[in-house]
Amino acid sequence: MTLVSIIFAGILTYFTRMTMVALISRDMLGDKVKAVLEYVPSAVFPAIIFPGIFINDFGAFIEMNDPKIFGALVAVIVGYFSKNIIATILAGLVSYWFLIFVIFS
Amino acid sequence: MLSKKQLFTKGMLDISPHMLSVIPFGIICGAIGVELGFNPYLVYAMSFIIFGGASQIVFLQLLSGGASSLVAVTSVGIINSRHLLYGAVLSEYLEKLSFIKKLLISYVIVDQGFAESNKFFKKNRSEEYLHYHLIGTGCTMWVCWQIATLSGIILGSFVPEELGLKFAIPLTFIAIVVQDLKKIDHVIVMITCGLSSLLFFDAPFKSYIIISPVIALFVASLLLRLKK
């Protein structure tokens, strides 16, 4: 790993952040495009959530009785009703820990 | 009208709960770099120059696995290409800013900051200094990320691996989208994206992270057409 490759990766990353903000003006995006862009959070974040739950560190699918599935379900339920970020994360983690340290240990 | 300072503080407060997952992840990220045998200064340089959590880990893992720099750099670019979508959404709110300010603010656009600032922007369109909210979320993330990765580099992985704290990352994003489960169209878009990400997980250069949002947005456009 060289500093040069990090700098290239950094420049590339910066361009992904800057391009649409600095080079696109509102008039360039039509109403239809803007309506679709409303869905960006729902269209992007599950691509981080699903692999984070269903695929393990070795790139393989987890078993259907994996504690992560249970933890994620608890997080969804607690998050839905509490509308609280910390409660959502903690509920998911604690129920996951409960399974791996108490039930399956 | 809120002042610049109030908006900045609001941004800080809105993103701070996410630090519960970001900080352990940053520590793990820094520690992995050193464990894989890389120069600690270079591992830290990534946090400053790339400033993108998951992409930094992938970069390290690819290089340590013997991949070429070209493959590693390309993968970072593809993983981070999702920022193009964030930028497209945010551009509407940042339009009034000067070109220089746009260039500066772009550096601190991150997943959680985009999510929280976008929620705030939608409800407070009329605020004059809206962008200070985004600066608040972005700077909070930046400072925490630098401190977290640095401590991982210096202290090693003092977060016990058995705790499986990487799992906090999907949880933090569940917290972001969970309220949209009330809307059936959003649920369809989310499931499309999630299933696509599993289906294309093995696609080259980690491209599932941008392929699945593109598919999901295509489905969203179909849904919009049906609604009419």
pLDDT along chain B (228 residues), means of 10: 95 98 95 94 97 94 93 97 96 94 97 98 94 98 98 88 91 97 98 98 95 98 92
Identify the domain containing residue B87 by its residue range.
4-178
| Chain A residues with beta carbon closer than 8 angstroms to that of B21 | 89
Alpha-carbon distance B113 to A37, whole Å? 17
- The CA angle B172-A92-B33, to the nearest 5 degrees, is 55
- CB contact under 8 Å between A9 and B72, yes or no, is yes
- Tell me, what's the pLDDT at B98? 95
B63 and B22 fall within a common domain: yes
Task: Enumerate long-range contacts of A24-33, CB under 8 Å, 24 or more apart.
Answer: A24/B87, A24/B88, A24/B91, A25/B91, A25/B95, A26/B91, A26/B92, A26/B95, A29/B88, A29/B91, A29/B92, A32/B221, A32/B224
Residues B80 and B164 in one domain: yes
* Contact check, Cβ <8 Å, B197/A51: yes
Looking at the fold, whether B44 and B75 belong to one and the same domain comes out as yes
User: Are B33 and B116 in the same domain?
Assistant: yes
Listed residue (B197, B138, B147) closest to B25, CA to CA: B147
Is residue B193 within 8 angstroms of chain A, CB to CB?
yes
Rounded Cα distance between A26 and A31, Å, is 10
Q: Which pLDDT value is given to residue A9?
A: 97
Same domain as B165, residue B199 = no
Residues B217 and A32 sit within 8 Å (Cβ to Cβ): no
Per the structure block, which two tokens stand in for B221? 């456009």
CA separation for the pair B142, B148 (Å, rounded): 10
Cα end-to-end distance, chain A, whole Å: 40
CB pair distance less than 8 Å for A36 and B84: no
Residues 6+ apart with CB under 8 A from B160: none
Question: Which pLDDT score is estimated for A94?
Answer: 97
At A68 the three-state DSSP class reads helix
Report CA-CA distances (Å) from A24 to A30, A55, B77: 12, 36, 20
Mutate to test the interface with A, among B60, B93, B159, B167 (most CBs of A within 10 A): B167
CA dihedral B4, A31, B213, B18 (to 10 degrees): 20
Clarify whether residues B10 and B100 are in a common domain. yes
Task: Please give the pLDDT value at position A1.
Answer: 60
| Number of domains observed in the structure of chain B | 2
Best A5, A8, A13 residue to mutate vs chain B (most B CBs within 10 Å): A13
Mean pLDDT of A98-105: 88
Of residues B50, B47, B76, B49, the one with CA closest to residue B145: B47
Rounded to a whole number, what is the distance in angstroms from the first to the last CA of chain B? Answer: 36
DSSP letters spanning B31-47: HHHHHTT--HHHHHHHH
B contacts of A31 (beta carbons < 8 Å): none
My answer on whether B94 and B147 are in the same domain is yes
Give backbone dihedrals phi and psi of B98, rounded to 5 degrees, phi first: -70, 160
Name the A residues in 50-69 with CB < 8 Å from any B CB.
Answer: 50-55, 57, 59, 61, 68
Same domain, yes or no, for B150 and B210? no
- How far, in Å, CA of B4 to CA of B29, rounded? 33
For residue A65, give how far its alpha carbon lies from the nearest alpha carbon of chain B (Å): 16
User: What are the structure tokens assigned to B226, written together?
Assistant: 């049906």
What three-state secondary structure class fits B116? helix
The residue with greater pLDDT, A29 or B44, is B44
pLDDT at position A57 is: 86
- Distance (Å, rounded) from C-alpha B157 to C-alpha B168? 16
Angle at B8 between CA B5 and CA B11, to 5 degrees: 150
Q: What is the pTM of this model?
A: 0.95
- Do B19 and B125 sit in the same domain of this protein? yes
| A79:B175 CB<8 A | yes
* pLDDT tens, position by position, A31-72: 899 999 999 999 999 999 999 999 998 889 998 889 999 999
Read off the tokens for B220: 């969203």
What is the structure's pLDDT at B210? Answer: 97
Q: For position B228, what pLDDT does the model report? A: 75
> Can you give the pLDDT at residue B10?
98
